[in-house]
Amino acid sequence: GSYFCISVAGYPEGHPDAIEEVPGGLAALSPSEKRRARVAKDKSGKQVVTVCRDVRFEKELAYLKQKVDAGADFVITQMFLDHQVYLDFVDSCRKLDIKVPIVPGIMMLNTLGGLQRMTSLCKTRLPDGLLRKAEAAN
């Protein structure tokens, strides 16, 4: 039997390089973009909204489809913290006939600093109240 298989990366919020700041904030986003958007504050306290816009997200999904069609056995996703983002991603993949298993990427974040660093690096959406709860627990 075969002991090896091929896994590829999937990005439920879009690849970090495809995520951009939205000058108009949440009001400038489509409903699907709002579900993927990250809202954070910069060092001055100003609210910053970032997202992989729908057009780029569709390109990301098309590229994932190419990887799966080329022989990938399953997809492992980038870390995410909002379960709805994952469910939306799986639904979008299934609509494109991506039928392989999509394994959620899990990362153990043990400290507030680790949570802040990794979500900033990966441009990960934080569910409402999560950062506040993490800060209170710190």
Q: What is the pLDDT along the chain (138 residues), one digit of tens a residue?
A: 678 999 999 999 999 999 999 999 999 999 999 999 999 888 898 999 999 999 999 999 999 999 999 999 999 999 999 999 999 999 999 999 999 999 999 888 788 888 888 888 888 988 888 888 888 988
In this structure, are residues 25 and 49 in contact, taking their beta carbons and an 8 Å threshold? yes
